[in-house]
Amino acid sequence: MPVRKCQDLVGLLADYVEQQLPPAVHDSLERHLSACPRCVAQVKSYQSTVTLLRTIKDDELPPELRCTLKSFLDRNCRN
Ligand SMILES: [Zn+2]
């Protein structure tokens, strides 16, 4: 499945960051990124959020904050 539109990328973002995409899809996504600064910014903000979440232990994260971060990610994904 080639990544042609920004919308195509959105659903793959999580797997891309986790390096879980099949190589063909991964390449296709990176080709899109090379032509689309907006999606690069989206990947970066997603990555930094994921990194932030990983640095916080589950029991240190209040449920409200978890929700806030989740809605941040969801909002990001609807661009
Ligand atoms: Zn794009």
What are the extents of the domains in the chain? 6-77
Surrounding ion ligand 1 within 5 Å at CB are 6, 36, 39
Let me know: does 6 contact 15? Beta carbons within 8 Å.
no
pLDDT of residue 54: 80
Q: What's the gap in Å between 43 CA and the centre of ligand 1?
A: 10
Measured CA to CA, the distance from residue 48 to residue 52 in angstroms comes to 6
Tens digit of pLDDT at every position of the chain (79 positions)? 677 899 999 899 989 998 999 999 999 999 999 999 999 999 999 999 888 888 877 677 777 777 777 777 777 655 5
Task: Quote the tokens at residue 17.
Answer: 């960051």
Alpha-carbon torsion (57, 40, 77, 7), positive or negative: negative
Q: Which residues fall within 8 angstroms of residue 16, CB to CB, at 6 or more apart? A: 9, 26, 29, 43
pTM higher than the cut 0.75: no
Measured CA to CA, the distance from residue 72 to residue 31 in angstroms comes to 26
